[in-house]
């Protein structure tokens, strides 16, 4: 079946780009389904559009916004595929896809809800070419090559759930968590197949008890022994600490900044601080010398060891025998 190409009638020979102000023919503009552009073309020429996307590093939010202006669906996987092939000229080529009969009647809003759902559930990265294959490769390295895509997703989701809800510490508990996930999957397979699963269930229960992965071990906000443990629990659930961003928030921050600014001024704005210290020391020495000369004092150096020895010699100069007196009553 030949797909019908839906082309708007050309209503102009030349059109002025609203960004660069140059005049071009219809071939230099991107077609649009939007009712806000009656001539059927975006008001910005393809070169300016490429510059806008390039400056934004082809960020998906920016591409999605332009797709919204053009009222065409934003399909990340398709856009990235064409971007790798056509480079900076990608958008007009991408937009042309949605003027075939296959996409007739479909606009930006029809795909936006699905895009937001994937983004919120953390699956949007799978839309990138090669990302999904790389993700599956890593999962096979982790769980083994004998599992299909569905099984790998089951195992990874269960393992992530264990890490988020249970107090998994150390390599031993981590290995126990992996084995519990594998046994859980095999147990589900046997239940669906109607096979005997008693031994598998016994092994599952025993391993769960050994690892202490029970409802009693579920972490809550009141079960933490330290702040570090609390932060670790939060980070497992996707929380990211926002570090200091140079915004003063309380009097402590203001005080720290004032001290830092004072020290900076002290060392950078005060000229000759070293000379000032030297001058003060010399002034003290001069004052001391004047004081000694006025009172007729002379500086003498005393040997403390010599002084102590002279004292002991004075005590024992008569060669008297030292006799310790002991009280008889004691």
For residue range 34-89, what is the model confidence (pLDDT) as tens digits?
Answer: 888 888 899 899 999 899 888 888 888 888 888 888 888 887 777 888 888 888 88
Instruction: Return the pLDDT at 115.
Output: 65
Which has the higher per-residue pLDDT, 139 or 243? 139
Q: What is the CA radius of gyration of the chain?
A: 41
What integer pLDDT is reported at residue 48 of this predicted model? Answer: 92
**Residue 6 scores a pLDDT above 50:** no
For helices 60-70 and 108-120, angle between their N-to-C axes, nearest 10 degrees: 160
- 135-149, 232-246, 258-272: least confidently modelled range: 232-246
pLDDT the model gives residue 5: 44
| Least confident piece of the model among 112-116, 225-229, 296-300 | 296-300
127/181: higher pLDDT? 181
Q: How confident is the model at residue 3 (pLDDT cuts 50, 70, 90)?
A: very low
pLDDT the model gives residue 116: 67
Give Cβ neighbours of residue 254 (< 8 Å, ≥ 6 apart). 248
pLDDT at 9 over 80: no
pLDDT at 71: 85
Q: In sequence order, which residues have a C-beta less than 8 Å from that of residue 176 and are 6 or more positions away? A: 207, 210, 211, 213
Q: What percent of the chain stands above pLDDT 90?
A: 1
Res. 150: pLDDT tops 80? yes
Percentage with pLDDT > 70 across the chain: 65
Is 131 a residue whose pLDDT tops 60?
no
The pLDDT, as a whole number, for residue 316 is: 58
CB of 91 within 8 A of CB of 30? Answer: yes
Residue in this structure with the two tokens 């004052």, named with its chain if needed = 287
Q: Given a cut of 50, is residue 204 above it in pLDDT?
A: yes
For residue 298, is pLDDT > 60?
no
CA atoms within 13 A on the CB side of 153: 6
What pLDDT, on a 0 to 100 scale, did the predictor assign at position 175?
86
Looking at per-residue pLDDT, the higher value among 305 and 46 belongs to 46
What pLDDT does 45 receive? 92
Q: DSSP state, 9?
A: P
Please give the residue that has the higher pLDDT: either 110 or 321.
110
220 contacts 169 by C-beta, under 8 angstroms: no
How remote is the C-alpha of 94 from its chain's centroid? Answer: 32
Mean pLDDT of the chain, nearest integer: 75
């Amino acid at each position: 079946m030949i797909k019908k190409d839906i082309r708007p009638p050309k209503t102009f020979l030349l059109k002025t780009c609203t960004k660069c102000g140059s005049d071009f023919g219809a071939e230099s503009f991107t077609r649009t389904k939007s009712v806000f552009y009656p001539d059927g073309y975006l008001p910005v020429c393809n070169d300016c559009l490429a510059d806008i996307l390039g400056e934004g590093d082809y960020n998906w939010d920016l591409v999605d916004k332009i797709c919204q202006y053009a009222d065409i669906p934003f399909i990340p996987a398709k856009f990235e595929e064409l971007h790798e092939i056509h480079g900076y000229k990608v958008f007009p080529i991408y937009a042309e896809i949605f003027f075939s009969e296959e996409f007739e009647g479909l606009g930006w809003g029809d795909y936006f809800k699905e895009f937001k759902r994937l983004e919120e559930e953390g699956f949007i990265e799978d839309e990138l070419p090669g990302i999904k294959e790389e993700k599956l490769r890593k999962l096979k390295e982790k769980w083994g090559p004998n599992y299909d895509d569905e099984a790998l997703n089951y195992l990874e989701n269960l393992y992530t759930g264990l890490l988020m809800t249970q107090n998994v510490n150390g390599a031993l508990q981590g290995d126990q968590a992996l084995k519990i996930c594998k046994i859980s999957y095999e147990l589900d397979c046997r239940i669906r197949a109607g096979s005997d699963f008693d031994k598998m269930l016994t092994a599952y229960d025993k391993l769960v008890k050994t690892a202490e992965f029970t409802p009693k071990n579920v972490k809550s906000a009141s079960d933490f022994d330290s702040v570090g443990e609390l932060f670790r629990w939060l980070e497992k659930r996707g929380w990211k600490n926002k570090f200091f961003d140079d915004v003063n928030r309380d009097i402590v921050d203001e005080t720290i900044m004032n001290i830092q600014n004072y020290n900076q001024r002290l060392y950078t704005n005060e000229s000759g601080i070293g000379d000032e210290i030297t001058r003060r020391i010399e002034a003290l020495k001069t004052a001391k010398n004047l004081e000694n000369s006025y009172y007729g004092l002379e500086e003498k150096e005393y040997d403390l060891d010599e002084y102590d020895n002279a004292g002991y010699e004075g005590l024992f100069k008569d060669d008297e025998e030292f006799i310790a007196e002991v009280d008889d009553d004691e």
